[in-house]
Amino acid sequence: MNEVNKYLSFLRKYRFTVIVVPVIVIIITFFLVRNLPTSYVSQAQITSGIVDETQQQSALIEAVQGDQVRQQFSNLIEMMKLKRVVDQVSYQLIIHDLTTTDPFKPRSKLFASLNKAAKEHALKVYMEKYANAESLNLSNPDQNGLFLVLKSMRYDAESIKEKLLIYRSGDSDFIMVQFESESPELSAFVVNSLSSEFIKNYTSVLRNNQVKAHNFLRDLLKEKSDTLADKMAALRNYKIKNRVLNLTEQSKQLYERILEYDAKKQEAIEKTASYAGALSEIDRKFDPKERKYIESTLSKVNQSIVNTRDELNSVYNLYISNDLDEKYKHAYDSLRNKLNSEIDRSSDQYITNPLNTKQELITQKLNLEIQMDLSRYSINSLENKINSLNGQFDKLVPSEADVQTLELNVDIASKEYMDILNRYNQSSLESSFSAKMDVVQPGTPGMAQPSKKMLLVILSGIISFVFCLLVIFIIYFFDTSVVSAKELADQTGIPVFGNVNYLNMPSLDIKEIWQKNNLPTPLQELKNELRSLRYEIEKELKGKVLLVNSLRAGEGKSFITMSVAFAWVMMNKKVLVIDGNFNHSNTNTNGSAFLEDIISGSGSLQLSPDEASLKVLKNKGGNSSILELADKATVIAKLNELKQLFDVVIIETPALGSINQAKEWMLFADGIVSVFESGYQIGETEKEQINYLKQTGIFMGWIMNKVVSKKTI
């Protein structure tokens, strides 16, 4: 709150600036805007079809939402502002003015200076540029001149854009095109022409893009089709070359056959073992002599049986190797029957043998031997067949990997082909639809807009006022001047006895302040301030000699000195004021005695009971100092004499910043007060002087002079 008050106090110093500057700006603005032409606004409304469900081709395009919608509208608006589109409107405007006696606006000087031939040439070039949708080539002198004609009429693209406003109407599907000019017909013509040219340009660009996309997809579709055909041909050729039809089914069949032959092999092994065991049992039933006889007698018969058995083994091998073909099965059964018949004949032939009691065992043994031999042969055949099938199965493994790779390539190529085919079909359908954009509300000549002249005048005043406040605030922010007693005490660390307000008066009689009772408020406040100063100084002064100085010249030492002196006089005290400023004697009270005479002893100062209680010792001037008039002891002696005559001796000295005379006077003072004018800054020089005052040991405090109060302002 204190800072606000300080700023307001600071602002009061510039109150006339804050008032005068806005007034001047308002007057200037008024004269500048009073001749502004009346403006007319026209609007056209375009539907984009982006969020309009009645325009959506739901079979082709999915509805877009959110940020995508805003982005599409932003793109459309920027396309409408393209120079290529606005140039078309510029050509139409200038062509209209060249071909009619009623132009949209008064012709410019450059336009009016064109002769008939120049106008015909300009019209021809403008129409060619409009037909070809081209911009003027500014590097061509002739076309550059035609551009200057456009610019002089403010028909160029940049001039049109200055008054052109394009925006989306809320969250709707509509784009608003607005133009402001000094002619209602011109405003309507611009918005309608711009809308038409934009739709035409947008439709053309859209159609070209669709054709390019369609052709690109067509070529890409053919490429993907050829790729798919190549992949399928590679798979087909590989299957033919490697005799692969269906790897899954083939591997399944091979595995089943391997299991089947393995089962037959295990069965043959079991039969062979059982046959061998049965033969061993039969052999144990014959003694060695009988076994020898039987083997010798049956050798001839067995030869025929052995031959038939060998044929049977050969047929069995063919039967196994040809995957159990039925034609070999019949041959195998026939030879088996033949073998059984030969065995029966051998039994009948030797029926009269003395060993016929054991004929049954012999026949059984022959059958078992034949069956065991067949089982042994079948084991080998089955083993070979199983190995062959395993070899075929092993060959399917690398073929399976190659086929999977080829089938994966075909699948990828097929998906790519179908994706491109869908996009191609969609592009074909989209190309058959026309653009969704259309002008739903053309622009019409509008009414005159409310005048903005008064608004501009008011705004100029407000802006200038705010600007002044801002500038003053910046000055205040960087201002380090001391304007209050608290700031002075804070910055110096020395107490302030009081303030003396600034008085805006041409002259002031200090005697009248103490002689009159009914005083104006400022003078009454001054009287109270002087009483307060008198009390504070008297409380701190340890003696009779008071020295009054300042950091700079012109801070009001003389006024303060005489005012405080009169304040003491009102207490019936005898007060002596010594003018110690030899370079500039400025005490306002007349005096008959001079300081030089008193110091030298050539003069004296006596007070009679009927004389005034206030005496002033003036000096004769000149570039002198107190110690140049007499030595220190003499000055002290003279001051002691004066102390006997007066209750208070006040010495006014020069400013510390100008000369060193004030420092000599400090040798004889009992107390020092320094006058500080409000609004001054404390720089490095002032800080050094303040430190010097502190070092004297008799510096009591400050008197702040010329303080600007609210009432003073």
> Can you spell out the DSSP letters for 619-671?
---SS--HHHHS-HHHHHHHHHHHHHH-SEEEEE---TTT-SHHHHHGGG-SE
Query: Over the stretch 413-445, which tens digit does the pLDDT of each residue have?
Result: 788 888 888 887 877 776 665 557 788 889 888
DSSP H or E segment with residue 333: helix 326-349
Query: Over the stretch 200-221, which tens digit does the pLDDT of each residue have?
Result: 888 888 888 878 887 888 888 8
Which pLDDT score is estimated for 545? 94
With vertex at residue 481, the alpha carbon angle to CA 477 and CA 484, rounded to the nearest 5 degrees, is 105
Query: Over the stretch 354-402, which tens digit does the pLDDT of each residue have?
Result: 445 466 667 777 777 777 777 766 777 777 777 776 776 666 556 666 6
Residue from 652, 521, 505 nearest 577 by CA: 652
59 falls in which pLDDT band (50, 70, 90)? Answer: very low
Return the CATH class of domain 482-707. Answer: alpha beta
Percent over 70 (pLDDT), the chain:
78
Which pLDDT score is estimated for 228? 82
User: Does 574 have pLDDT greater than 80?
Assistant: yes
CA dist 124 → 87, 110, 116, 269, 400 (Å): 16, 18, 12, 111, 76
User: Does 460 have pLDDT greater than 50?
Assistant: yes
Which pLDDT score is estimated for 88? 93
Residue from 567, 551, 562 nearest 688 by CA: 551
Q: Which of 63-77, 353-367, 612-626, 670-684 has the highest mean pLDDT?
A: 670-684
CA gyration radius, the chain: 65
User: Does 285 have pLDDT greater than 70?
Assistant: no
Which pLDDT score is estimated for 230? 86
Domain boundaries along the sequence of the chain: 16-214, 247-428, 482-707
Which pLDDT score is estimated for 63? 46
User: Does 291 have pLDDT greater than 70?
Assistant: no
Which pLDDT score is estimated for 401? 65
Query: Over the stretch 259-272, which tens digit does the pLDDT of each residue have?
Result: 777 777 787 777 77
Q: Judge residue 107's burial from the number of C-beta atoms within 10 Å of its C-beta, 0-12 exposed, 13-18 middle, 19 or more buried.
A: middle
Q: Which of 245-254, 294-303, 399-408, 530-539 has the highest mean pLDDT?
A: 530-539
Give me the helix-helix angle, 557-569 and 521-540, nearest 10°.
80
Task: Find the mean pLDDT for residues 107-112.
Answer: 90
622 falls in which pLDDT band (50, 70, 90)? Answer: confident
Query: Over the stretch 650-702, which tens digit does the pLDDT of each residue have?
Result: 999 988 876 678 888 999 999 999 999 988 888 888 899 999 999 999 999 99
- The one-letter code for the residue type at 146 is L
Which pLDDT score is estimated for 192? 93
Residue from 23, 24, 27, 21 nearest 472 by CA: 21
- The pair of structure tokens assigned to 431 is 């190309």
- The pair of structure tokens assigned to 600 is 């030298």
Query: Over the stretch 479-505, which tens digit does the pLDDT of each residue have?
Result: 778 888 888 998 999 999 999 988 887
Q: Which of 43-52, 320-329, 529-538 has the highest mean pLDDT?
A: 529-538
Range in 255-264, 473-482, 557-566, 580-589 the model is least confident about: 580-589
Which pLDDT score is estimated for 345? 65
127 falls in which pLDDT band (50, 70, 90)? Answer: very high
* Beta-carbon contacts of residue 188 (< 8 Å; ≥ 6 apart): 42, 442, 443, 444, 445, 446
Q: Are 265 and 383 in contact (CB under 8 A)?
A: yes
Query: d(Cα 457, Cα 454) in Å, to the nearest integer?
Result: 5
Indicate the DSSP class of residue 703: E
Residue from 232, 198, 254 nearest 78 by CA: 198
